[in-house]
Structure 1
Amino acid sequence: MKLSMSVDILTLYLLNFLVGLVMAGICFFSWIHQRDILGLRGWSAALLLGSLGSLELSLRTTSSPLLLVLMANSLVVAGYASVWMSVRRFNSGERGVRHAVVPTAVFVVIYGVALAAGTDVNVRVAICSLVLAILSLLAGREVFRGRIGEPLKSRIPTALALLLMALAMVVRTIFSLVEDPPVGETTPFYDPTLGISLLVNTICVVAMTLGFLMMANERLRHHYEKLASTDQLTNLPNRRFLLAQGARPGGRACVLMIDLDHFSEVNRTFGHAGGDQALIAFAVLARQQLRPTDLIARYGGEEFCAVLRDTDEAEALQVAERLRAAVTELSIGVDGRVLRITTSIGVAQLDGDLGAAMHRADVALYRAKALGRNQVRSADDATSSAVR
């Protein structure tokens, strides 16, 4: 029975080595092609460390020096600690090498003392399992906690795989403490759970690594989607995003077409760099003046468009006037000079057809510009009287 169990445990160690090595290669290959994904290289290193530890464990004999045993288990712990470090790097960009070094160093001290004191194998297995459970729990918590700032759907299965791994190690710790130490054990391959916890560990390594790769790809996809729908200069949504999102059905709404006055003169006087600063300053101010539920986008050049949800025309005119007045108070420093801008705004009710509403607001905008600029006009203002 013991010989059969030993062969099974040895097979699992070798399986862990091969699985870890293959998954480390996949992660490293993914990092080569996606170097902007933080934590991916560290995750690859973590899998490599764990696989090397498993290989050393599979090479043990009853006469192996204590240093080899300590090194093998320390490599496995370093791999788990590096997983925790990599998740933190993925979430915050923090280069927290200490999160891998400190737990490993603490383990080396504790486990080294246990070996030197001749502690029985059950206690040593309990120490290793408990440390691995804690590190898996910390990594799983970090993955799940990241949903607050970045709610990636793939975080949930990744966190569950890490938590399942932690549970398997907790079970292994309990079995190690309640089981009597083996008597006359002639094989170095001992596991109080008869290999079940090691098998679960192997499955979880695959699952959590695939989950982490899914998280990396999901982040990358969101990044490209944002690039495709965001104006690079002002960081506002672009025309494409506006036409796609602004046309969504809803309740009452209004459209504002906004144009910065005499912008070609701004570029001639302050240069294109000054013009860019004016666009950025206006974008920041517009976000402050509008509600979080309102959509404002850079429509093209110095022209912007806003869709105000749950707003009738009278309210939209007030919002537009407030924005116009705030722009006149805006002071932009450009190379020691002060740049001031004004804006003209056209307002139209949105009755389901975004294109038609934008056209009516654009007509009102050009009416405002023709009548002297720096004013708000309504598409339904038959007398073309200034709002202010």
Structure 2
Amino acid sequence: MPIDVVTLYQLNFTIGLTMAGICFFSWIHQRDILGLRGWSAALLLGSLGSLELSLRTNSSPLLLVIMANSLVVAGYASVWMSVRRFNSGERGVRHTVVPTAVFVVIFSVALLAGTDVNVRVAICSLTIAILSLLAGREAFRGRMGEQLKSRIPTALALLLMACAMVVRAIFSLVEDPPVGDTTPFYDPTQGITLLVNTICVVAMTLGFLMMANERLRQHYEKLASTDQLTNLPNRRFLLAQGARPGGRACVLMIDLDHFSEVNRTFGHAGGDQALIAFARLARQQLRPTDLIARYGGEEFCALLHDTVQAEALQVAERLRAAVADLSIDIGGGQVLRITTSIGVAQLDGDLGAAMHRADVALYRAKALGRNQVRSADDETASAAR
């Protein structure tokens, strides 16, 4: 039984309008998700275009035909714009306006020139195919900067849409143009294309919502494991990572010397700048594979992977010297200088025990005058004597 094209257009309208409402409702409750409002607008434009297309007849005004097709094209252009905004935050309204304007000009000229309906169908189909392909490429390309698994099904849905439109354009160009007073829905490929369109619209919208949800989940996971001031991992993240089995490693317990005096002299704002400056310097001094976290207050803990204690002592001494040479401009002509004391211990499977030994070495360094590095082995040897 042939697929009723008018019914499919109306189905597209209903589904598009429903999905637009879902996306807009999601954006209302989570406005930080970029591109979600634009995607809602894209679905609204496409659904309105589908409604107008379902109402057209052979005697419909040319303006209605132009407007109906332009709304559908504007919807797909907005999809492209929304994915770009999701990826980069760019407010690229031109990515909707320019393709739509170009289409309106080309389609209007073709319609007014009396071009066969097959050619006009091919123009619409190829335009939608190009915009779908661009949006799918953008969704997939974003994986380089943000690994979201849901990007792949979203990109595939957009690619399937592009393929369906290319097929329809090819069939339109190879078919003979209609003769006589035929229905505007004569095209035999129109029904199956609309059915694929309906499926793809649902699939790519669900994919985009999954992308938004995945980004939110990663964002909240990062907030739960990151110190907001220094942007370093927090104690929770450190303990979770350190509990995982691995090779040899060393622990550094690091404390900024006389930090309460820093707060009294320069205020808590000055103390915050000192913590931020130390965190930035520490990241520069350590390897990318090493982990440094803010353990609490002015105390930090570093986990050096694939490192023996002799190497860890060299790293700790290099970090201590770099901190001692650090000058922090806190404004108003004031320069803040800090030093740090560091305790080092070998990690032998038990992170808590290694941190305790490093902490003992740290307090020994502070007792001996601060601004120095002490090893847990030295403290063990001292206790034995």
TM range (shorter): over 0.9
**Alignment length (residue pairs):** 381
**Over the residues paired in the alignment, what is the CA RMSD in angstroms?**
1.2
Question: What is aligned with 1:186?
Answer: 182
Using structure 1 for the length normalisation, give the TM-score: 0.97
Q: Provide, for residues 120-160 of structure 1, a one-character-per-residue CA deviation record: whole Å limited to 9, x for no partner.
A: 11000000000000000000000000000001000000000
Structure 2 matches for 1:293-372, cutoff 5 A?
293-335=289-331, 336-372=333-369
Question: What is aligned with 1:210?
Answer: 206
Contact 1:246 1:295 in 2 (8 A): no
Question: What is aligned with 1:224?
Answer: 220
Distance 2:186 2:263 in 1: 77
Deviation at 1:184, TM superposition (A): 2.1
Deviation at 1:186, TM superposition (A): 2.4
Question: What is aligned with 2:33?
Answer: 37
Contact 1:229 1:241 in 2 (8 A): yes
Q: Provide, for residues 75-98 of structure 1, a one-character-per-residue CA deviation record: whole Å limited to 9, x for no partner.
A: 000000000000000000000000
Pair 1:376-2:367 in alignment: no
Question: What is aligned with 1:140?
Answer: 136
Distance 1:225 1:88 in 2: 24
Question: What is aligned with 1:256?
Answer: 252
The residue type paired with residue 184 of structure 1 is G
Distance 2:243 2:227 in 1: 19
The residue type paired with residue 252 of structure 2 is L
Contact 1:331 1:338 in 2 (8 A): yes
Q: Provide, for residues 175-199 of structure 1, a one-character-per-residue CA deviation record: whole Å limited to 9, x for no partner.
A: 0111111222421223341411111
| Secondary structure of the structure 1 residue equivalent to 2:227 | coil
Distance 1:42 1:382 in 2: 62
The residue type paired with residue 127 of structure 1 is I
| Secondary structure of the structure 2 residue equivalent to 1:195 | helix
Choose the corresponding residue for 2:196, options 200, 210, 213: 200
The residue type paired with residue 289 of structure 1 is Q
Using structure 2 for the length normalisation, give the TM-score: 0.97
Distance 2:279 2:337 in 1: 14
Contact 1:172 1:192 in 2 (8 A): no
Contact 1:260 1:303 in 2 (8 A): yes
Question: What is aligned with 1:237?
Answer: 233
| Secondary structure of the structure 2 residue equivalent to 1:380 | helix
Distance 1:119 1:192 in 2: 19
Pair 1:46-2:78 in alignment: no
Q: Provide, for residues 311-364 of structure 1, a one-character-per-residue CA deviation record: whole Å limited to 9, x for no partner.
A: 000000000000000001100011220100000000000000000000000000
Choose the corresponding residue for 1:168, options 164, 167, 192: 164
The residue type paired with residue 46 of structure 2 is G
| Secondary structure of the structure 1 residue equivalent to 2:99 | helix
| Secondary structure of the structure 1 residue equivalent to 2:329 | strand
Deviation at 1:243, TM superposition (A): 0.5
Choose the corresponding residue for 1:94, options 90, 98, 122: 90
Contact 1:350 1:357 in 2 (8 A): yes
**% identity of equivalent residues:** 90
Distance 2:367 2:243 in 1: 29
| Secondary structure of the structure 1 residue equivalent to 2:228 | coil
Any unmatched runs of 5+ in structure 2?
Answer: none
Contact 2:361 2:379 in 1 (8 A): no
1:273/1:103 CA distance change after superposition, 3 Å: same
